[in-house]
Amino acid sequence: MISPDLLEILACPVCRKPLVLRGDEALKCNECKRVYPIRNDIPILLEHEATIEQF
Ligand SMILES: [Zn+2]
């Protein structure tokens, strides 16, 4: 589980916008629609690891 404090300082590496928690296993950027995985409680904020949701 990602703590709210940590979540607050995380930003999308592509557009530098804040990320929102999506379930327990992903972080989403509402700006570019990229979804970053969380593995072993560590957010993987890498552009090539992200998937893009079209909605
Ligand atoms: Zn973004």
CA–centroid distance, residue 51 to ligand 1 (Å): 11
Q: Which tokens is 29 given?
A: 């950027």
Full residue range of the structural domain in which residue 30 is found = 4-52
How many domains, in total, are found in the chain? 1
CA–centroid distance, residue 40 to ligand 1 (Å): 22
**pLDDT average per 10 residues of sequence, the chain (55 residues):** 86 96 92 96 95 86
Calculate the alpha carbon distances from 17 to 21, 26, 40 in Å: 13, 15, 23
CA–centroid distance, residue 18 to ligand 1 (Å): 8
Helix (H) or strand (E) holding 53: none
The CATH number given to whatever domain includes residue 37 is 2.20.25.10
Provide the whole-model pTM: 0.88
Q: Which tokens is 25 given?
A: 């296993």
DSSP string, 14-43: TT--BEEE-TTSEEEETTT-EEEEEETTEE
31 in Cβ contact with 13 (< 8 Å): no
